[in-house]
Amino acid sequence: MVEISTFDGEGTEREEAEAARPDLLAIAGAQARRQAALFRISAELAGALDEKEVCQRVVQGLHDTLGYDVLAVMLVDETSGDRAVVAQIGYDEPPTPIQSSPDRA
C-alpha cells in the first residue's frame, strides 16, 4: 500500500488560527458586554434632567455595568476655574476639589 500525503502550506497557519479562536471569542464577548453596558448608560442619560443628574447616572452606570469600585466626576466651576466633585461612588471621604492654577486668568 502506498500512502500519499499532501501539504498545502496552510496547515500550520490553520492550526494556529484554530488555537487562537477561543481567545478571540472571549475578547469579542468581553467587548460586546462593554458595548452593551455603555449603550444602557447612554439610554439612561437620555432621561436625565440636568448636568448633576447626568454625572450621577454616569458614575452609577460605570459602577454597575463595568465594575468600577471607586469613581468620581469633577466639573470645572466657571467662576473660579476649580474642579468640583459633582458625583462619586466608593470613596470613604469625598475627593478633594482641585483648585485652578494661580496664573489662570
pLDDT digits (tens, 9 = 90+) for 35-76: 887 788 778 777 767 888 889 988 988 888 888 899 999 999
- The CA distance from 84 to 10, in Å, is 59
CA distance 9 to 38: 43
Q: Bigger pLDDT: 100 or 5?
A: 100
The predicted pLDDT at position 7 comes to 56
What gap in Å lies between CA 49 and CA 62, rounded to an integer?
19
Q: What is the pLDDT of residue 86?
A: 93
Question: Per-residue confidence at 96, pLDDT binned at 50, 70, 90?
Answer: confident
